[in-house]
Structure 1
Amino acid sequence: MVSTESVLTFAAMSLLVIVIPGPSVLFVVGRALAHGRRTALATVLGNVIGCYALVVAVAWGLGALVESSVAVFTGVKLAGAAYLIFLGVQAFRHRGEMRAANLR
């Protein structure tokens, strides 16, 4: 049985994590202010799907695999870096379209 002290500590930390807005909340608020409610709701949906995908991957044991294998961990880091570079290049290539959309 879990001790009362452990449950209260867990509840306090959970409340703290829930109350403090993280990057996802700030991103959704920014999208809502810039693009409206519909875009913000789509952003929330995408964030939830991404979080659930991460939970499923960890539940299947992929988290332990990434933790134990240096090669897999390096591959995940390189894939993430490549994706960020791709997003940056796309933003750079389409900056004129973004600027025109922001002027409307």
Structure 2
Amino acid sequence: MISSTAALGIALITFGLAITPGPNSMYLVSRSLTQGRLAGLVSLGGVVTGFMAYLLATTVGLAVLFSTVPLLFVAIKVAGAAYLLWLAISMIRKGSSVFRPGDGRRHSASRLYAMGLATCLLNPKIALFYAALLPQLINPDGASIWAQTMQLGLVQIAVATLVNTCWVVAAATLASVLARSRRAEHIVRIAAGGLLAWFAVHLGLAQPATAQP
């Protein structure tokens, strides 16, 4: 078992990162704004699955693979940047109010889940974040390295899920207010799309050494 100090440390670090807008949280906000709370939560399920996939892959050496085969990291991050940029452009170009029921394109639950999963998996910095942070909190004299890595990762995922759930609920609540104001809706839509575009560029230019989820 990991120590309470290690668990608290990873929880605090994750909380600090999760409350700062990033690619995953901004995607979840955009889904919640355009399609409601349930859509945001379904999308969050996809993101959490992506976290789990990267955690499992990291424990068996995916981060090492990214370091030894830089082109793999570059390929995934470019694909992720292009995906986020496409989402940003789609949001900004919406002509009608995307905050009113029935307006805009409404994706199925399976599509929302898949898009959330893709958003997470197309950010390879998550694996590098795990590789850079988790070993610092592992006790070499404690339980197996694999077990400690998984436990620390699960704490990170739990905290990130809680914070992102708050993002979803807040965005869905804001959407109901924005539905009454075209001007406010337009401003928020442009701002959200602009942030997604900024994250797309940031992800595309990121180097492995500066990885953060």
TM-score, with length taken from structure 1: 0.59
- Letter aligned with residue 95 of structure 2: G
The amino acid that maps onto 2:57 is: A
**CA offsets 1:50-71 (integer angstroms, 9 cap, x no match):** 2112223324432211122222
Amino acid at match of 1:35: G
Q: Does residue 1:14 correspond to 2:14, yes or no?
A: no
- Give the number of equivalent residue pairs: 97
Q: Supply the AA of the counterpart residue of 1:62.
A: L
TM-score norm. by structure 2 comes to 0.34
In the alignment, the residues of structure 2 paired with residue 39 and residue 90 of structure 1 have an alpha-carbon distance, to the nearest angstrom, of: 17
Distance (whole Å) between structure 2 residues aligned to residue 20 and residue 82 of structure 1: 27
1:20–1:81 distance in 2 versus 1, CA, 3 Å = closer
Identify if the C-alpha distance between structure 1 residues 80 and 28 changes in structure 2 by more than 3 Å, giving closer, same or farther: closer
Instruction: Write the deviation string for residues 40-84 of structure 1: whole angstroms up to 9, x where unpaired.
Output: 431331221121122233244322111222222222221122112
CA–CA distance in structure 2, aligned partners of residues 77 and 90 of structure 1: 20
Aligned partner of 1:3 in structure 2 is none
The two structures, once aligned, show a CA RMSD in angstroms of: 3.7
Percent identical among aligned pairs is 27
Residue 74 of structure 2 aligns to a residue in which SS? helix
The structure, 1 or 2, with the larger RCO (C-alpha pairs under 8 Å, 6+ apart) is: 2
Q: Which sections of structure 1, spanning at least 5 residues, go unmatched? A: 1-5
Between Structure 1 and Structure 2, the one with more helix by share is 1
Flag the 1:29–1:81 CA change in 2: closer, same or farther, 3 A: closer
Q: Highest Rg: 1 or 2?
A: 1
